Amino acid sequence: MHYLRMKSSSRISSILNAKVLGSSITDFPSFSLSQLNLLVEPSFELPTNLRLGHLAEKCVAELIKASSNYDILHENIQIVQGNSTIGELDFIIQEIETKEITHVELAYKFYLLDSSISEDPIKNWIGPNRNDSLHEKLVKLKKKQFPLLYQDCTSSMLPDVDVDNVSQALCLMAALYVPIGFEGGAGFDSPSALKESKNLKSSYSAFQDAIRGYYLDFDTFRSLHDSASTYHLPTKTAWGMHPGDHKEWSSLSKLEQEIQTSLEEQRAVLVWKKSEEVYSSFFVVWW
């Protein structure tokens, strides 16, 4: 397995600082990494050949192991029924002092707000390419992932765990992006001020802390570009990291064709922007 030391600290920090959507949004008890007692700043190597979701899982597993108050009893448990794998449980963890055991499902997601979809705010958060959604994820967790713990075949695979006395919690780390100018996004109409919205109205106020930026189409991006700004297109495994940790920046003209090609292939592009020492993060979308 390939490992990479450089940027591991940035990746770890990004996971620790990611916002977890609370139970008022998800209807599940939440587990936040802030519950971990970490006596020293965590430092560990991360594999470079994993997709973003699996990289987040690896990082969270190492953080739990590094904590002084939780142990991992099981992780990535494949649940097999007959000759078929019917699902997987992410983590079975135990609080060291109380001995309480919790089944934790983990997700690390990027969603964009399209308020035209529904009058129900929870249904309006979609993946950057419109092929998944927060609502669909929560339905899957409710109907499949969490009930999996109580399958007969699961109990037989966890002989050291009394599943009837296991609590369940969701650690859904989310980075949310709103359309440029959405509901009080002051400064969006200024060509020199691409800023993220911090003034969501009441219907979306529960999501406020997880807002990380905005999205726009390519024509709007180009119209708002100023020559003093530089950019970087992070690989997906770097999504969620702080743009300020990146050292090499490019002019828009050097990245324009790459962005255009991605959009033609119906792949939204995450862009990091540097204006002097001010950093921002936004998606350019094809739709």
Query: 119-132 pLDDT, tens per residue?
Result: 999 999 999 999 99
Predicted pLDDT at 191: 34
Do 30 and 67 have their domain in common? yes
Give me the pLDDT at residue 83, please: 87
Are both 10 and 143 inside the same structural domain?
yes
**CA distances, 97 to each of 68, 69, 80, 161, 166 (Å):** 10, 7, 32, 17, 16
Give pLDDT, residue 197.
41
Look at residues 161, 176, 191 and tell me which one is the last residue of a structural domain. 176
Q: At residue 216, what is the residue type?
A: L
Residue 9 backbone dihedrals phi, psi, to 5 degrees: -65, -40
- Shared domain check, 191 and 166: no
Q: In this structure, are strands 101-113 and 167-179 parallel, antiparallel, or unpaired?
A: parallel
CA angle in degrees (0–180, nearest 5) for 48-49-54: 95
Residues 52 and 109 in one domain: yes
Q: Mind listing the pLDDT tens digit for each residue in 97-113? A: 999 999 999 999 999 99
Domain boundary among 119, 147, 176: 176
- pLDDT tens over the chain, length 287 residues: 333 443 689 999 999 999 999 999 999 999 999 999 998 878 898 888 899 999 999 999 999 999 999 999 999 999 998 889 999 999 999 999 999 999 999 999 999 999 999 999 999 999 999 999 999 999 999 999 999 999 999 998 999 999 999 999 999 999 999 999 886 443 333 333 333 444 466 788 899 999 999 999 999 999 999 999 999 999 999 999 999 999 999 999 999 999 999 999 999 999 999 999 999 999 999 99
Long-range contacts of 180-187 (CB under 8 A, 24+ apart): 180/214, 180/215, 180/216, 180/220, 180/282, 182/113, 182/115, 182/214, 185/214
Q: Is the dihedral of CA 49, 33, 197, 121 positive or negative?
A: positive
Rounded to whole angstroms, the Cα distance separating 271 from 232 reads: 6
| pLDDT of amino acid 189 | 36
Tokens linked to 78: 């494949």
105 and 68 in one domain?
Answer: yes
pTM, 2 dp? 0.91
Residue 75 structural domain: 3-176
What is the rounded CA–CA span in Å between residue 51 and residue 59?
12
Do 85 and 142 lie in a common domain? yes
Question: Tell me, what's the pLDDT at 183?
Answer: 62
Domain boundary among 150, 176, 202: 176
**What is residue 6's predicted lDDT score, i.e. its pLDDT?**
38
Check whether residue 53 and residue 169 sit in a common domain.
yes
**Residues 63 and 198 placed together within one structural domain of the fold:** no
Backbone Cα Rg of the chain: 20
Q: Are residues 22 and 116 located together in one domain of the fold?
A: yes
CA distance 170 to 28: 6
Residue 199: phi and psi, rounded to 5, are -130, 50
The number of folded domains in the chain is 2
130 and 187 belong to one structural domain: no
User: CA 73 to CA 43: how far, in whole Å?
Assistant: 22
190 shares a domain with 171: no
Q: Give yes or no: residues 237 and 170 share one domain.
A: no
